[in-house]
Amino acid sequence: MARAVTTQRKLVYTIAAWSVALLIFFPVLWTILTSFKTETSAVANPPELLSADWTLENYAEVWGRTDYPRFFLNSVIISVGSTLLGLLIAIPAAWSMAFVPSNKTKDLLMWMLSTKMMPAAAVLIPMYLIFQRTGLFDTRTGLVLALMLMNLPVIIWMLYTYFKEIPGEILEAARMDGASLRDEVLYILTPMAIPGIASTMLLNIILAWNEAFWTITLTTTKAAPLSAFIASFSAPQGLFYAKLSAASTMAIAPILILGWFSQKQLVRGLTFGAVK
Amino acid sequence: MATQSSRATARLMVAPSVIVLFIWMIVPLALTLWFAFRIYRLLSPDRNGWAGFSNFLWYFNSPDFWLAISNTLVLVGGVLAITIVFGVLIALLIDQPVWGQGPLRILVISPFFVMPPVAASVWENLFMHPQNGLLAAGAIGLGMQPILFLEQYPMSSVIFIVSWEWLPFATLIFLTALQSLSSEQLEAAEMDGASALSRFRYIVMPHMTRAITVVVLIQTIFLLGIFGEIFTTTQGGPGSASTTLPYMIYKQAVIAKDIGRAAAGGIIAVILANIVAFFLMRSMGKHLDT
């Protein structure tokens, strides 16, 4: 909708848009600022900004008192692991649905999405018992499986919408020229599908990183990721605002930075290809 | 290009996904259904046997249940209304010619990357806390009494927090849709004397139908199961004022340790989700067909 406008109008729009954006972002910014204050400064009334006592102590204390590296490592293994495993199963499925569609493909996709409609709390007890019995409780393997299955419908949907945009004629042409299935996949499909696979991967790592129901209910200590780490931190204990902010910042920073760098690819993936 | 053998290969390639998803759906569901008709209390393990429909009846006779159903629907409806209205407005604003659109998008999308437990505890402690929260400081600064957000307005506060988390998603999808709107059409309408309001009503909104459908569908799926935000902030209280159906089930399972009742609640939640899904698909499915 780019139209010629006067500089004055552009200035008004810019100020308005930036005010709204900063207002939306403010809670994140305030959390980060509070994490660098002393506890007394963090709860000061009126709130301190320029006059605040700045310190790095909160980070040192959270780092020292908790096992942050382990939580962090668990988060990385679980989110990346479940995404890669999901892609492994989803790529063939999405590929065949996109290129060899049948009259049931649409229903199948809808059914897959409908498996996500089941509220997690509804099946908490059976999942808990299954995990206990099979020895998957509080293991990374268990969470990788659970989050993979939870996000599989989303992964298949996203890949399907990307693959659908690869023109089928190219494949036919390659086949006429005598390309084998292996050549087809390796030299034609893969290069064209890589951007779609990459942005699917990104979005699912973020979804898995932020998942907080199964990660909290199906772990205790060994396999607990950052979402469980932060949940254990929210019980108030004396002066804890600055430390809570530091822990929060440490939990969201990795994915926030990843998200910022990849937001262009994410937008496309987020819309399930349904909005262009 | 679909020969007999390629069709067979295609089925083979879909099979793993269908099988694992089917197991993931049917096994917990079957177990839940089994427990729902059993007497199964962790606190009195010697009492067991068939419960008939008593686990279900307990819900229908409990006044909290109808409150939980209405809270669940109010939460979904409230968040959808807020994110769609403000999402469209903010998208319209960002879509105007402004300086620094890239950084703007990054700021607006940020809440989406914040995990629910963090979002909930930051809002609860740093903002809504009646003594130390920033909103209380603001109220005192203006010479007013601090508002007890989570105690007096628990549902509105939870809806507000969840809306903050989902606003970026809605805004971004609307922004993407707006950017594919042809400017010629708008300019032509403007030259023909259409007011800003009627341009919005007759050109922008019809173009957005599909985007709004996507937002409603995807958000409803996630919002029906909202749990972490309530668990962190109000614990369903005060009383049962902010207890939703998922939270009520959780309370039966983890606090009352009544597995049979929790399972019956689970079945009710699945049925409710299916009813909502049915109406959604019927009213919106036509916008999604390509």
Other beta carbons within 10 angstroms of residue A118's beta carbon come to 22
- Tell me if B126 and A16 make a contact (CB, 8 A cut-off): no
Instruction: Let me know: does B272 contact B72? Beta carbons within 8 Å.
Output: yes
B97–A3 CB contact, under 8 Å: yes
Neighboring chain A residues of B13 at a CB cutoff of 8 Å: 92-93, 95-96
User: What is the domain extent for residue B147?
Assistant: 54-288
CATH number assigned to the domain comprising residue B111 = 1.10.3720.10
DSSP string across A11-27: HHHHHHHHHHHHHHHHH
Query: Strand, coil or helix: what is A50?
Result: coil
Q: Is residue B4 part of a domain?
A: no
Other CB atoms within 10 Å distance of the CB of residue B226:
26
Low-confidence ranges of chain B (pLDDT < 70): 1-4, 284-290
Of A97, A241, A270, the CB nearest to B125: A241
Q: What pLDDT digit, counting tens, does each position of A147-182 carry?
A: 999 899 989 988 888 888 877 777 778 888 887 877
Quote the pLDDT of residue A76: 94
Average pLDDT over residues A107-117: 81
Integer Cα distance of B34 and B49 in angstroms: 11
Name every chain A residue with its beta carbon within 8 A of the beta carbon of B281: 110
pLDDT digits (tens, 9 = 90+) for A241-253: 888 899 999 999 9
A2 has a pLDDT exceeding 50: no
Cα–Cα nearest to B115, from A205, A200, A37, A273: A205
Q: Does A276 touch chain B (CB under 8 A)?
A: yes
Average pLDDT, chain A: 84
Q: State the Cα–Cα distance between residues A30 and A145, nearest whole angstrom.
A: 36
A267: nearest Cα among B50, B240, B102: B102
In this complex, which of A34, A47, A172 lies closest to B137 when CB atoms are compared?
A: A47
Contact B31, A124 (CB under 8 A): no
- Asked if A272 and B214 touch (Cβ cutoff 8 Å), the reply is yes
Inter-chain CB proximity A126 and B112 less than 8 Å: no
Determine contact: A52 vs chain B, CB below 8 A: no
Q: Is residue B17 part of a domain?
A: no
| Residue B192 maps to a domain | yes
Q: How far apart are CA B233 and CA B125, in angstroms?
A: 9
Element (H, E) at B38: strand B38-40
Beta-carbon pairs below 8 A across chains A and B? 306
What is the predicted pLDDT for the residue at A5? Answer: 64
DSSP state, A240? -
* B38-40/B48-50 β-pairing: antiparallel
Across the interface, whether the CB atoms of A171 and B1 are under 8 A apart is answered yes
SS3 of A260, please?
helix
Q: How many domains are contained in chain B?
A: 1
CATH superfamily of A66-232: MetI-like (1.10.3720.10)
Positions of E strands within B41-134: 48-50
Q: For residue A125, which of B34, B53, B57 has the smallest C-alpha distance?
A: B34
CA distances for B278 relative to A66, A111, A123, B270, B273, angstroms: 46, 12, 21, 12, 8
B8 domain residue, yes or no? no
> Is A20 touching B (CB cutoff 8 A)?
yes
Q: Is the pLDDT of residue A44 over 80?
A: no
Q: Do A115 and B247 touch (CB under 8 A)?
A: no
CA distance B128 to chain A (A): 11
Contact B97/A153, CB-based, under 8 Å?
no
Residue A149: Cβ-neighbour burial (10 angstroms; 0-12, 13-18, 19+): buried
Interface check for A242 against chain B (CB to CB < 8 A): the answer is: no
Residues 32-51 of A with CB under 8 A from B: 34, 43, 45-47
**Alpha-carbon span A256 to B235, nearest angstrom:** 27
B200-252 pLDDT, tens digit per residue, is 888 888 888 888 888 888 888 888 888 888 988 888 878 888 888 888 988 88
Asked whether residue B73 is domain-assigned, the answer is yes
> Which residues of chain B are within 8 Å of residue A30 when distances are taken between CB atoms?
122, 126-127, 134
* Nearest-by-Cβ selection for B107 from A24, A89, A121: A24
A1: pLDDT strictly greater than 50: no
Question: Which among A37, A210, A241 is the top mutation candidate for probing chain B, defined by the most B β-carbons within 10 Å of its own β-carbon?
Answer: A210
In terms of Cβ atoms closer than 10 Å to its own Cβ (0-12, 13-18, 19+), residue B279 is exposed
CA distance A174 to B124: 59
CB A37 within 8 A of CB A48: yes
